[in-house]
Chain A
Amino acid sequence: MYWSELAWLIPIFPLIAFVVIGFLGNKLFKKAEGGGYVAIAMAAISCFISLMVAYEILSGGYPGELFKQSLLWINVPGQDLSFTFNIGIYIDTLAALMLIVVSFISTLVVIYSVGYMHEEGEKKRRYYAIISLFIGVMLGLVLSSNYLQMFIFWELVGLCSYLLIGFWYTKPSAASAAKKAFLVTRVGDIMFMLGLFIFFVGFGGNLDYEHIFNFNFEDFVGGNSMLTLGTFFIFGGAVGKSAQFPLHDWLPDAMEGPTTVSALIHAATMVKAGVYLVARSYPVMVETPDTMLIVAIVGGITALMAATMALNNPNIKRVLAYSTISQLGYMFLALGTGGYFFALTQEANAGYTSGMFHLMNHAFFKALLFLSAGAVIHAVHTEDMRLMGGLSKKLKITSLVMLIGCISIAGIPPLSGFWSKDEILASVWETGAENPIFYLLYIMGILTAFMTAFYMFRLWFMTFKGEPRDHHAYEHAHEAPKVMWVPLAILAVLAFGSGFALFMGFGEAIVPSIEHWHAHSEDIAGILTTIFSEWQTYLSIIAAALGIYLAYLMYIKKSINPDVFVATPGRKKVYDFLLARYGFTAGYDWIGLKVVYGLSLVVDWFDRKVIDGIVNGFASITVHLGNVLRKGQTGFVQTYAGVVLAGLSLIVILLFLLGGLI
């Protein structure tokens, strides 16, 4: 009996919570936190099973290190139309890693929600129901054994994020942010779908990972160019979901939801789904170096661009949102780099591993940052950092744990962010030998590291240090209740220490399921020597330290006045340009309002006049025909008998005609 055999229960428990809270909540849980405890219990059970399963898979406890289970869902054995769909579970080390991250962080977030959402009243039931569904479908997505099943959960994840971002749907900004998230990710979803169509045809009507990963790619219908197109579209899906350039703009707006939801979306669910998709598709992706190059470039551009947007934003949650986009960019950069390198040299570098490593570390410190930001917002009831300041006196625990998060994301050793970021940058540099464009990406990565350190510490200094700028808010600020800071403390420990997983064999455990992929295996001393004997390591540490120092100068010592950046009209323009998110929002709106709307008018006219005309014509013909035929039904049984006999005669005549007898 293996734990893995119970894996199918993992998504079931949160779904049970969804059904129970969603449909019976109003009657059952009037007093009991609107069903929050049920949600916690179910999430905790599925977290427990997830951890056991993940441990079993990662420690090699399950024979073959790969757990597969599948039920035949639909099987159509035609001659040219044959295809097979299964419903199943597929757990390799990658899925195991995701299970840990998703289930663990989700559970903490739900616990934290009991404190954070305490004042929501009736709405709590809706919140806990949807968040349970969210967790359930994300776990389902991770466990899926084929692309179709994954796509179904993928769409459900999108639906849940829509519902949660628009949780306060009476607020127009929340409603429109929810719509934006839904529509922009939908662009990616359509690409994902196109990719699936290409895969479906190319891989012979079977979308099982097992089938695809063991496929002889020479036999792909449509050849390698079609496969490249397929992987490109699959990546397109990831771009939408993971908010990468140029579909990144929904994520900052998604801050309209409750902060807990943001934490969930950023650390555990939604955006990680995109990274997971690319990592999951690695065995296919490495067959197409062009796609991998695009993945790396998009990742690099996103990382840098999002970091610049975070530099001057006054909203605490938005800064964190941009930082998520930027960090996700790192992950894609890592994945693209690793895949490109493997595709060209047939040798593995640390790209894939470091990308997944960063995914895990990021999950912990980003959940920590968001939840501490939530604690701050909970205390001062504003998200504007210009109204905060000096809060470290009031929020001792929060400020401390958030500092850990900031150091970690900034990449200062020995906290977790350092290890993964350093590995990513090292592998990018290494790939530069194959294609010089990676040197450029490396520079972008270093710049991003510098900016990350700067804006994170700007955030921390503005929030917790200096003089209180809004005394009213300051007076009323209070430390978060226990139910909120305990999860924070747990996350702080993980954000501090999750990087040490590197020394516990992370690099050997998390490898893509490609046959001739050989991971580096080194002992602790070996790893440390490799890392600290290269000048790149010091460069990235120096960049981070410089960023922190600059923030210190500007916001603590005030020897550099932040206003210098808006002193001249030129500088002011750059400043506003960043605040306006490079004009992407306006661009989206322009596309939406002018281009699409104009097009819609034309289509609408065509639809009304031409299509509807035809359809209405058919409809009225049908209706009239129906009326005529109906009148034939006279109600006299002998009419019917007559029709029977007439029909018989006609059939016989027809048979004679077809047989050529007449």
Chain B
Amino acid sequence: MAIDYSALYPVMVMVVFAAALPAIHAVAKSSRVLAGVSLVGIFVTMALELMYIVSGEYPAAIGGASVELLRLDVFAALFALVFLAVAFYVVLASARYVEKDRHQAEYFSLILLATAGMMVVAMAVDLITLFAGLEVASISSFALTAFRKKDKRGAEAGAKYYVIGGLSSAIALYGISLLYGITGTTNIAGINTVLAGMGSELDIALLLAIGLLIAGFGFKVALVPFHMWAPDVYEGAPDPIAGLLAAGSKKMGMVLLFKVFLVGLIAIKADWQLLAGVLAVLTMTVGNVIAVQQTNIKRMLAYSSVGQAGYMIIALAVATPYAVEGSIFHIITHAFMKGGAFMIVAALAYVALGENIANYKGLAKRAPFLAISMTLLLFALAGIPPLSGFVSKFVLFSAAIDASQIADQNWMFWLAIAAILNSALSLYYYVRVIKYMYVDEGSTKDRIKVPWSMTAAVAICVIATIVIGVWPDPVIDVCEQAARALFAG
């Protein structure tokens, strides 16, 4: 029986382009050409995925008749689009960023491969494909982090990322093995069916598996207390790659958690819901509190990312389609807000402006576009209307309040309260950057010239942030479909 591989076409396009890049590098030794080719690949893939979403018709799932491995549905397509969009502006910003580095072809090739891995994760309906996709993305990003081989910080960041990443993979794999041991299957929906049939009896191995999975996948999301690698790695990694990690890789972690917990373990959600709630509050609080003290802008953004992850985890604690809708929506908006902020940092680092927040003093005069973009993105992150961050937080938090009206779930109300208080706290350190840029005088008033490709990458993020904020409904609509698709299994 011939297998219909059409669900894999988008991934295949990415892989083909990734493989072609080194060959092209042999002919044209220019980072711009390589970036251009990568952009074409990403663009074609985006068009494919968009076609699926718009038409509403998806190819057949890959795998045996009884056991599916990969399925392209609206959830997968939507997340693939998010990852691709992130890859798109990362590549765009990198076009000039790596122009003086060696191994440029491998750099772009790895970005495409990491994205392909994330897309596989979004499609996976079996733990095997899930784990394989996760590792493809992880290994690519390890290498990308240590891409600048002469850079002491880059090397250190790569080593740290690798050690913690490897450890987490091992923990997650052990959790998966236990889950397999309990249920006898690795199909995610199948696991749920078996667990639902087992009744409410508690099992030590099952709880252990839950713990291991949260720890193993929580690493990707930078869930407290598995977050400590994140600031170091973001700081040490090349700036566009930090954006990729914060906006892409982290979202893949959310997909992992959604798939495993909301599909595979939803039958026993009573066991882990409260834990997820505790982790959500812990994550957002620790992230935001430490961010207040940061002097390096990348570390600040990293900790703010940790805080944002806390908001997204609310969906796990609430575990309703409405909350997941909000969370997916926030993932999308965050991909642009945080990614855009990192792209600005990358652009300024390219012109050798330091990463210390104090270096941004008087930026409004030196680079008005970047300053206003940064302001908008930071306001969006803080959740100021009418920017996208406000709407997505609003949907997410109101989902928690909505769910808290059911008896026995009243504690969810406090999730929303904690999240709102944290948002207020986060405003403090965001506004500090804005104050430096606009109020304080810089040591120099020289205009900063930034390559247009970086400006374009920033502009994409800013426009997306404003447009989604002003007219969120189409996006919310797709998020709702995606959430339903997820819960349909």
| Interface of A toward B, CB cutoff 8 Å | 71-81, 87, 619, 622-623, 625-627, 629-630, 632-633, 635, 637-641, 643-644, 646-648, 650-652, 654-656, 658-661
B contact patch SS: helix
The residues of A that contact B193 with a CB separation of less than 8 Å are: none
Q: Are B211 and A648 in contact (CB under 8 A)?
A: yes
Option from A80, A629, A647 in Cβ contact (under 8 Å) with B289: A629
Tell me the nearest residue of chain A to B226, going by C-beta.
A644
Chain A binder among B4-12, B130-138, B158-166, B456-464: B158-166
Q: Are B322 and A640 in contact (CB under 8 A)?
A: no
Q: Are B164 and A644 in contact (CB under 8 A)?
A: yes
The residues of B that contact A626 with a CB separation of less than 8 Å are: 289-293
Option from B215, B395, B401, B480 in Cβ contact (under 8 Å) with A651: B215
Q: Are A655 and B210 in contact (CB under 8 A)?
A: yes
The residues of B that contact A661 with a CB separation of less than 8 Å are: 202, 204, 207
Q: Are B476 and A74 in contact (CB under 8 A)?
A: yes
Given known contacts A658-B271, A659-B202, A661-B204, A629 and B286 CB-to-CB distance under 8 angstroms:
yes
Given known contacts A71-B471, A78-B399, A648-B211, A654 and B290 CB-to-CB distance under 8 angstroms:
no
Could you list 22 A-B pairs, sorted by A, with CB under 8 Å? A74-B473, A75-B473, A78-B322, A78-B398, A619-B428, A632-B228, A633-B228, A633-B231, A640-B229, A641-B164, A641-B167, A643-B225, A644-B167, A644-B168, A648-B171, A651-B279, A652-B207, A654-B278, A655-B207, A656-B204, A659-B207, A661-B207
The residues of A that contact B164 with a CB separation of less than 8 Å are: 637, 640-641, 644
Q: Are B476 and A622 in contact (CB under 8 A)?
A: no
Q: Are B471 and A656 in contact (CB under 8 A)?
A: no
- Which positions 152-186 of chain B face chain A at CB distance < 8 Å? 159-160, 163-164, 167-168, 171
The CA-CA distance from A644 to B160 in the complex, in Å, is 13
The CA-CA distance from A402 to B416 in the complex, in Å, is 63
Q: Are A77 and B225 in contact (CB under 8 A)?
A: no
Q: Is B128 an interface residue (CB 8 A)?
A: no
The residues of A that contact B214 with a CB separation of less than 8 Å are: 651
B259-280 to A contact mask, C-beta < 8 Å, 1/0: 0000000000001101100110
Q: Are B231 and A77 in contact (CB under 8 A)?
A: no
Q: Please, how many residues of chain B have a CB less than 8 angstroms from a CB on the other chain? A: 53
Tell me the nearest residue of chain A to B164, going by C-beta.
A640
Tell me the nearest residue of chain A to B325, going by C-beta.
A77
The CA-CA distance from A76 to B290 in the complex, in Å, is 33
Q: Is B356 an interface residue (CB 8 A)?
A: no
Q: Are B292 and A648 in contact (CB under 8 A)?
A: no
Given known contacts A629-B290, A644-B219, A661-B204, A81 and B401 CB-to-CB distance under 8 angstroms:
yes
The CA-CA distance from A81 to B394 in the complex, in Å, is 12
Given known contacts A79-B405, A81-B398, A644-B168, A637 and B163 CB-to-CB distance under 8 angstroms:
yes
* Besides A79-B405, A640-B228, 9 new A-B residue pairs in contact (Cβ under 8 A), listed by A number: A74-B476, A626-B293, A629-B289, A633-B228, A643-B228, A644-B168, A647-B215, A648-B212, A655-B211
Q: Is B433 an interface residue (CB 8 A)?
A: no
Tell me the nearest residue of chain B to A656, going by C-beta.
B207
The CA-CA distance from A71 to B470 in the complex, in Å, is 12
Q: Are B293 and A80 in contact (CB under 8 A)?
A: no
Option from A80, A633, A658 in Cβ contact (under 8 Å) with B405: A80
The CA-CA distance from A644 to B224 in the complex, in Å, is 9
Q: Are B292 and A622 in contact (CB under 8 A)?
A: yes
Instruction: With both chains docked as a complex, state the minimum distance between the C-beta of B96 and any C-beta of chain A, in angstroms.
Output: 28
Tell me the nearest residue of chain A to B224, going by C-beta.
A647
- Which positions 370-392 of chain B face chain A at CB distance < 8 Å? 391
Q: Are A660 and B167 in contact (CB under 8 A)?
A: no
Q: Are A74 and B391 in contact (CB under 8 A)?
A: yes
Q: Are B212 and A659 in contact (CB under 8 A)?
A: no
Tell me the nearest residue of chain B to A72, going by C-beta.
B473
Tell me the nearest residue of chain A to B204, going by C-beta.
A661
Q: Are A73 and B401 in contact (CB under 8 A)?
A: no
Tell me the nearest residue of chain A to B171, going by C-beta.
A648
Which of A81, A625, A658, A659 has the most C-beta atoms of chain B within 10 angstroms of its own C-beta? A659
Option from B271, B292, B405, B476 in Cβ contact (under 8 Å) with A659: B271
Q: Is B68 an interface residue (CB 8 A)?
A: no
The residues of B that contact A73 with a CB separation of less than 8 Å are: 471-473
The CA-CA distance from A74 to B291 in the complex, in Å, is 32
B271-310 to A contact mask, C-beta < 8 Å, 1/0: 1101100110000001001111110000000000000000
The residues of A that contact B473 with a CB separation of less than 8 Å are: 71-75
Top 9 nearest A-B pairs (CB, nearest first) are A647-B225, A652-B211, A626-B293, A640-B228, A648-B215, A78-B402, A637-B160, A655-B207, A72-B473
- Which positions 444-472 of chain B face chain A at CB distance < 8 Å? 471-472
Instruction: With both chains docked as a complex, state the minimum distance between the C-beta of A628 and any C-beta of chain B, in angstroms.
Output: 9
Q: Is B425 an interface residue (CB 8 A)?
A: yes
The residues of B that contact A648 with a CB separation of less than 8 Å are: 171, 211-212, 215
The residues of A that contact B279 with a CB separation of less than 8 Å are: 651
Given known contacts A73-B471, A637-B160, A644-B167, A654 and B275 CB-to-CB distance under 8 angstroms:
yes
Q: Is B232 an interface residue (CB 8 A)?
A: yes
Q: Is B198 an interface residue (CB 8 A)?
A: no
Q: Is B28 an interface residue (CB 8 A)?
A: no
The CA-CA distance from A287 to B10 in the complex, in Å, is 59
Given known contacts A77-B322, A629-B289, A659-B207, A647 and B476 CB-to-CB distance under 8 angstroms:
no
Which of A87, A625, A646 has the most C-beta atoms of chain B within 10 angstroms of its own C-beta? A625
Q: Are A647 and B226 in contact (CB under 8 A)?
A: yes
The residues of A that contact B44 with a CB separation of less than 8 Å are: none
The residues of A that contact B289 with a CB separation of less than 8 Å are: 622, 625-626, 629
Tell me the nearest residue of chain B to A637, going by C-beta.
B160
The residues of B that contact A640 with a CB separation of less than 8 Å are: 160, 164, 228-229
Tell me the nearest residue of chain A to B202, going by C-beta.
A659
Q: Are B163 and A623 in contact (CB under 8 A)?
A: no
Q: Are A76 and B398 in contact (CB under 8 A)?
A: yes
Q: Are B274 and A658 in contact (CB under 8 A)?
A: yes
The CA-CA distance from A80 to B405 in the complex, in Å, is 9
Q: Is B351 an interface residue (CB 8 A)?
A: no
The residues of A that contact B394 with a CB separation of less than 8 Å are: 76
The CA-CA distance from A79 to B210 in the complex, in Å, is 30
Q: Is B16 an interface residue (CB 8 A)?
A: no
The CA-CA distance from A638 to B232 in the complex, in Å, is 13
Q: Is B40 an interface residue (CB 8 A)?
A: no
Q: Are A655 and B272 in contact (CB under 8 A)?
A: yes
The residues of B that contact A79 with a CB separation of less than 8 Å are: 402, 405
Tell me the nearest residue of chain A to B286, going by C-beta.
A629
Q: Are A639 and B228 in contact (CB under 8 A)?
A: yes
The CA-CA distance from A72 to B391 in the complex, in Å, is 14
The residues of B that contact A658 with a CB separation of less than 8 Å are: 271, 274-275
Tell me the nearest residue of chain B to A658, going by C-beta.
B274
Q: Is B485 an interface residue (CB 8 A)?
A: no
Which of A625, A643, A651, A652 has the most C-beta atoms of chain B within 10 angstroms of its own C-beta? A651
The residues of A that contact B51 with a CB separation of less than 8 Å are: none
Instruction: With both chains docked as a complex, state the minimum distance between the C-beta of B94 and any C-beta of chain A, in angstroms.
Output: 27
The residues of A that contact B292 with a CB separation of less than 8 Å are: 622-623, 626
Instruction: With both chains docked as a complex, state the minimum distance between the C-beta of A288 and any C-beta of chain B, in angstroms.
Output: 31
Tell me the nearest residue of chain B to A644, going by C-beta.
B226
